[in-house]
Structure 1
Amino acid sequence: MVLLSIPFDKTELDNLYAISKQGKVVWRVQGLNTVFPNQNNLPYEQMNVNENVITATDFYARRYFINPLNGNIEKSDIVK
């Protein structure tokens, strides 16, 4: 898994990728604007990986649960 750092002056989203051992992009995380079109979406700032799920959080402490097989966002919550 690769989490790209996005500068504050850029509007790039969906900055989480799965990369194969051969260096090929397997998937890019499902688009936040597709799943949550009515919220102020931000790039991911932190991620955790385990065998069943990837969690990624943004600046507003919104945590997204991502399927490690296909990059789909399965659910979200807010962490404190």
Structure 2
Amino acid sequence: MKNVEINDNKLIIDKKEVFFEKKILEVKIVNEIIVVLLAIDGSLDNVYGINQNGDLLWKIQEPNKEIIGKNRFPYVGLSERDNKLGVIDFYGRRLYIDINNGEIIGKDIVK
């Protein structure tokens, strides 16, 4: 695994720099994919998957209404457990993501 650091809107993977439009709030590494959560800016899709070379693999996909309902909220946190990636929205829902493509595949409630 390469060394990963953040500095405002810059993700540093070893010595390679990857820039985002907004400040990076949090980073998790799951199955060698670097998951980046950006600051809330009015956009609802502020989570990205980056590979070890700094290439964009995916941007989180819009959730299916059968999983999330009709109300969407910005993502405010990341969770990782047993190599499963979750994003936490402002409403306290943890949405599970397919780490390979950013698709939301399930949810539960965070207390």
TM range (shorter): 0.7 to 0.9
Structure 1 pair 79–66 and aligned structure 2 pair: CA distance change class (3 A): same
- Alignment root-mean-square deviation, CA: 1.8
> Matched residue of 1:77: which SS?
strand
Structure 2 spans left out of the alignment, 5+ residues: 1-34
Q: Say which one has the larger Rg.
A: 2
Alignment-derived partner of residue 75 in structure 1: 106
Percentage identity across aligned positions? Answer: 39
Q: SS of the residue aligned with 1:41?
A: coil
CA offset digits 1:27-56 (Å, max 9, x no partner): 111113xx1274220111000234631111
The amino acid that maps onto 2:93 is R
Please give the alpha-carbon distance, in whole angstroms, between the structure 2 residues aligned to 1:4 and 1:17.
8
TM-score (norm 2): 0.59
Q: Which has the higher strand share?
A: 2
| Separation (CA, whole Å) in 1 of partners of 2:48 and 2:103 | 11
* TM-score between the two structures when normalised by the length of structure 1: 0.79
Counterpart position of 1:2: 36
- In structure 1, runs of 5+ residues without a counterpart are none
Q: How many residues align?
A: 75
